[in-house]
Structure 1
Amino acid sequence: MNQQNTTQALSPARHFTVLLSPTPRGARLARLLAVEWMRDHEVPYGVAETATQLVAELAANAATHGRVAGRSFRLALLRHGGVLRIEVTDTRGERLPHVQPSTPEGDSGRGLLLVEALADRWGVEQGPVPRKTVWAELDLPNP
């Protein structure tokens, strides 16, 4: 194996995925694991702070609105080129998220407004049945 192949083989993975319980505890664990992964992969501080908020919101939504007893949700973090992508997949594909107007008195309804404000891009992908994936992307600064 030449030096270039050795370096590539030893470089850390640029993606992370984990299954978590669709509970408040699972959502908190998603946030904590994301923080550690971003620290290990040297995601710039400002991006990491924003990504942490996005993971917290998307994981909380999966635990609240995407919950199905006995089924986990999946958190995936992908760093490719100049983009950090956050994906949260749950098994409630029939319940697609959408931005709702919030009211000052309401206890909920602001989550996707926050995602929309923080992410450079976000969206929803359906499938395979019964799953859906809500994703958010953040552009990384040029080195």
Structure 2
Amino acid sequence: MPATKTFRIPKRRRHVPTARQRIRKALADWGITGELADAVTLSANELVTNAVSHCRTTYAGVEVTLTVDGPELLLEVSDPDRDRLPRPHDSGPDEECGRGLALVAALADAWGHRQEPYRKCVWARFALAGRPKGAYVPAGS
């Protein structure tokens, strides 16, 4: 049976560190430490930051779910702006923003997004053992 931890934060930048702390605690409670915990936490930081920065729904909340199911860990970050989908782009060397999804792709085994009736979910999947990284899986996969 999978282990799951879900929590919500307000759509405010000042709550991103709270999300990071809660993710770190959940991972530690499951015995996930080291490089994998760092990769999941950094990916979560990027996805939560994107959600709070780009969601256009007023008074929205961001939902974070971590699930350990067998050999995989799944990170999901959802917000109610279902039509504003993530789009990776190449950032110039002087740009301060725009590298978050590239970072997630480099750290995760696979990542993607899906639209649900009232929200979108951006997810990243991590193998709990040896891992090829960076595959993008289209919505609905």
Tell me the TM-score normalized by structure 2.
0.87
Q: How many residues align?
A: 130
Distance 2:88 2:28 in 1: 30
Cα distance, 1:51 vs structure 2: 0.4
- The reply to whether residue 138 of structure 1 matches residue 126 of structure 2 is yes
Partner residue in 2 for 1:62: 51
Partner residue in 2 for 1:124: 113
CA deviations 1:18-37 (Å, max 9, x no partner) are 11111112221111100001
Q: Which amino acid aligns with 1:75?
A: V
Distance 1:84 1:25 in 2: 26
1:94 to 75, 83, 91: 83
CA deviations 1:51-76 (Å, max 9, x no partner) are 01011101100110125221101000
Question: Stretches of 4+ moved more than 4 A in 1?
Answer: none
- The reply to whether residue 49 of structure 1 matches residue 38 of structure 2 is yes
Whether contact under 8 Å (1:15, 1:79) holds in the other structure is yes
Whether contact under 8 Å (1:67, 1:90) holds in the other structure is no
Tell me the TM-score normalized by structure 1.
0.86
1:28 to 10, 17, 24: 17
Whether contact under 8 Å (1:17, 1:75) holds in the other structure is yes
SS at match of 1:70: coil
CA deviations 1:64-90 (Å, max 9, x no partner) are 012522110100000000001100000
Q: Which amino acid aligns with 1:141?
A: A
Partner residue in 1 for 2:97: 108
Q: Any gaps of 5 or more consecutive residues in structure 2?
A: 131-141
Q: Any gaps of 5 or more consecutive residues in structure 1?
A: 1-7
Bigger share in helix: 1
Whether contact under 8 Å (1:22, 1:67) holds in the other structure is no
Distance 1:139 1:61 in 2: 23
- The reply to whether residue 18 of structure 1 matches residue 21 of structure 2 is no
